[in-house]
Amino acid sequence: MVRLLIVSNRLPVSVTKRANDLRFQPSVGGLATGLSSFRESHQSQWIGWPGISTDKISEKEKQQISNKLEVQNCHSVFLSAKDVRNFYHGFCNKTLWPLFHYFPLYTVYEDKYWQAYKQVNKAFCNSIVEIAEPDCCIWIHDYQLMLLPEFIRRELPDAQIGFFLHIPFPSFELFRLLPWRTEILNGLLGADLIGFHTYDYVRHFLSSTARILGAEHSMGSLTVGNRIVRADAFPMGIDYERYWGALENPKVRKRITTIRKKVGNRKIIISIDRLDYTKGIIERLEAFDLFLSQNPQYKEKVTLILLAVPSRTGVEDYMELRKQLEGLVGRINGEHGTIGWVPVWYLYRFVPFERLAALYNIADVALVTPLRDGMNLIAKEFVATKTDGRGVLILSEMAGAASELGEAVTINAQNKGAIVEAIKEALEMPVEEQTERNRIMQGRLSRYTVTRWAHDFLETLSNVKKTQQELSVHKLAIPTRERLISEYDKSSKRLFLLDYDGTLVGFASRPESAAPDQELLPLLKALATDSKNDVVIISGRDKTTLNYWLGNLNASLIAEHGAWIKEKGGNWQLIEPLRNDWKDTIRPILELYTDRTPGSSIEEKDFSLVWHFRRSDSDLAYVRTQELKDTILNLTANLDIGVFEGSKILEVKNLGISKGHVVELWLKKQKWDFILAAGDDYTDEELFAVLPQNAYSIKVGYSISKARFNVDSVGELRLLLEELIKNKSY
């Protein structure tokens, strides 16, 4: 079994020091508790910070901590007080946290924070490299470690690296504000699988990689160098059985009795969160205040229990929030309370599981109204404890959990009126309806638990790795390359079928800018001058451009994917008569789309029309190509016309034209004893398909292909061609 390393900023055990004594306690939070059962069944090690800075402990204590945690399979990464200040409170919690939660005004951009972030990610990398085996499985968690996948990839190129983001990935409009956006994206792309809670976050991430790095995806898969990287949604679940079975615990039942005695028969609303401005606690309290003002009949009939867990207590924004919250609780209690009734019971502390479960269980309503939340486990935990089916969840649309818990009463957390209405609806909801809604949600939560989530993630990671391995089997490795060169040397009737764009030259932002450079022309010239070689450049380009660029070579040219042929020393010939009267109907449509899509342009060839959108906004272009395809297909249903999507182009052409068709003519010309064909896109697949088994067919780039081999890049293909002509004088 491949060894699993789990990496997160905090270890599942936190160390504190009181009166010279080290104390070891379980860390708060869903990840640590959620993965505990999973860890027991897997051979795994956890790498992270034990929560105490090195300035507070001696070298001896540091060693003591390491030793004690190693026994629990936890490997410590130590941070200094300065690291905690600049990395954790700084870049993590003053830059990434607010920006990723759509609070750009709270976001601080400081170079010293960024430097600390890089340095701590590097320190994590060093610790991992010390204990990891080259092919082990490394699962990295959350926004504190977004550079780590790339750092590890450089050190351990064969490792299986997964990354999961627990907070939202913001829309491109927010993410682009980050001065270090490129580094963060490249950091993440060091992983093989990048997981998010919801598909919306996946979309945002893919949109940012496309717009910032120009890396296009296909169904969530991106090609990064010679690796396929996948981005997908894995909604994190909870340890369902633990919450569902909570009532069996006598401590939980005792706690419920105590609370019931104190609250009497009043309805109970709970509000439980880490004290964080993203959780919408102030807005929620203001809504409760409004509810009491607008519904005097509920005075003395309802109690809001507000439990806030201390969080990031050293950060000013959090201290300010606490002050504001406590002021507001005081005002509401002062204004609405009576001698025997305190409307809001406020607790600022961490509570153990039994108390938390008792609160979930006794509550009539849970108000979970974050302004933004990656997932929100409180909502799920509340529903899971409702064994009798009673209780209503009011849930913000802005929590990732909303995409799974559609039966909750969902609200816009900024709309106080809507929260007021929802509280009333929840308090008055018939029991049958409550039960019905909860049963559906419980079914879902019981199936997709945290253990299933972890398995699902790790299984997908291993599948991505398998796909990578399948593709890398086809990589033109040194032995095959040597065999190819030796067969070339021995043969005398050699055929080269070479695509142009994306194969011999890289893509340019404008099609006309991809002219052959000063390295390519001599290379092709040397190849074509050898009398044993027959070189055919087979392209989708129009014949005028091809002729202008490559017409002087001792080579044959094929233009428009096989519509036109110019044999060595001959003239252009049409392969077969083709219609092009359809262009008059299609051209005005393309013109309309070009006007509506800034950056796009039309290229007209004799037998095809091409709509280019490499310089357009990728999301807009995506929508437009789908519309355009539908429109054209409707118009040309009875004609012999096809619509094809290529690399940032949409091409409308006669169906009779195909690279495969024209290559067949060449294959019949004579008995070739060496064939090398190279291409990069879907039109070249038609070519690869008709080649004899022993031909060297090479795809530039990595994706599933009919070609026998892959090379990484245009540069690698050119190197191979150079090797063939090296040391040979013509």
Task: List interacting residues with ligand ADQ (CB under 6 A).
Answer: 28-30, 166-167, 236, 272, 274, 307, 309, 350-351, 356, 373-378, 381
Structure-block tokens of residue 709:
């081999």
Of 608, 617, 619, 702, residue with least CA distance to 659: 608
Rounded CA-CA distance 539/546 in Å is 8
Helix (H) or strand (E) holding 295: none
Helix (H) or strand (E) holding 49: strand 44-49
* CB neighbour list of residue 194: distance below 8 Å, 6 or more residues apart: 162, 163, 164, 165, 188, 205, 229, 230, 231, 232
For residue 615, the tally of other CB atoms under 10 A from its CB is: 14
Rounded CA-CA distance 471/621 in Å is 29
Structure-block tokens of residue 46:
């956890």
Of 50, 45, 46, residue with least CA distance to 27: 50
The CB-of-411 to ligand ADQ minimum distance in angstroms stands at 17
The CB-of-28 to ligand ADQ minimum distance in angstroms stands at 6
For residue 486, the tally of other CB atoms under 10 A from its CB is: 10
Rounded CA-CA distance 361/363 in Å is 6
The CB-of-195 to ligand ADQ minimum distance in angstroms stands at 10
The CB-of-70 to ligand ADQ minimum distance in angstroms stands at 26
Rounded CA-CA distance 377/397 in Å is 14
Of 423, 422, 271, 420, residue with least CA distance to 344: 271
Judged by beta carbon, residue 26 or residue 337, the one nearer ligand ADQ is: 26
Helix (H) or strand (E) holding 224: strand 221-224
Judged by beta carbon, residue 278 or residue 600, the one nearer ligand ADQ is: 278
* Signed CA dihedral, 684, 685, 686, 692: sign only: positive
The CB-of-78 to ligand ADQ minimum distance in angstroms stands at 23
Judged by beta carbon, residue 374 or residue 511, the one nearer ligand ADQ is: 374
Q: 3-class SS at 418?
A: helix
Q: Is residue 499 annotated as a catalytic residue, yes or no?
A: yes
Of 385, 381, 359, 378, residue with least CA distance to 304: 359
**CB of 514 closer than 8 Å to CB of 504:** no
Judged by beta carbon, residue 166 or residue 543, the one nearer ligand ADQ is: 166
Q: What is the largest CA-CA distance in the chain?
A: 105
Judged by beta carbon, residue 157 or residue 352, the one nearer ligand ADQ is: 352
Rounded CA-CA distance 652/421 in Å is 54
Judged by beta carbon, residue 309 or residue 620, the one nearer ligand ADQ is: 309
Structure-block tokens of residue 646:
């290529």
Task: Give, as one character, the DSSP assignment of residue 90.
Answer: I
Judged by beta carbon, residue 29 or residue 220, the one nearer ligand ADQ is: 29
Rounded CA-CA distance 346/325 in Å is 10
The CB-of-329 to ligand ADQ minimum distance in angstroms stands at 16
The CB-of-166 to ligand ADQ minimum distance in angstroms stands at 3
Burial 184-213 (b: 16+ CB within 10 A, else e): bbbbbbbbbbbbbbbeebbbbbbbbbbbbe
Judged by beta carbon, residue 210 or residue 394, the one nearer ligand ADQ is: 394
Q: In what order do the strands lie in the sheet with 641-646?
A: 601-604, 608-612, 649-654, 641-646
Helical H segments across 448-477, by residue range: 450-473
The CB-of-65 to ligand ADQ minimum distance in angstroms stands at 24
The CB-of-355 to ligand ADQ minimum distance in angstroms stands at 8
CA 199 to chain centre: 9
Kind of pairing, strands 696-700 and 709-711?
Answer: parallel
Judged by beta carbon, residue 307 or residue 495, the one nearer ligand ADQ is: 307
Torsional class of 312: left (φ above 0), alpha (ψ -120 to 50), beta (otherwise): left
The CB-of-220 to ligand ADQ minimum distance in angstroms stands at 20
The CB-of-578 to ligand ADQ minimum distance in angstroms stands at 58
Torsional class of 228: left (φ above 0), alpha (ψ -120 to 50), beta (otherwise): beta
**Residue from 192, 373, 499, 534 carrying the catalytic annotation:** 499
Task: Give, as one character, the DSSP assignment of residue 165.
Answer: -
The CB-of-316 to ligand ADQ minimum distance in angstroms stands at 19
Give the start-end residues of each E strand in 259-384: 267-274, 302-309, 344-348, 365-368
Judged by beta carbon, residue 236 or residue 678, the one nearer ligand ADQ is: 236
For residue 353, the tally of other CB atoms under 10 A from its CB is: 16
**CB of 322 closer than 8 Å to CB of 275:** yes
Judged by beta carbon, residue 351 or residue 689, the one nearer ligand ADQ is: 351
Judged by beta carbon, residue 101 or residue 465, the one nearer ligand ADQ is: 101
Catalytic residue numbers read 499
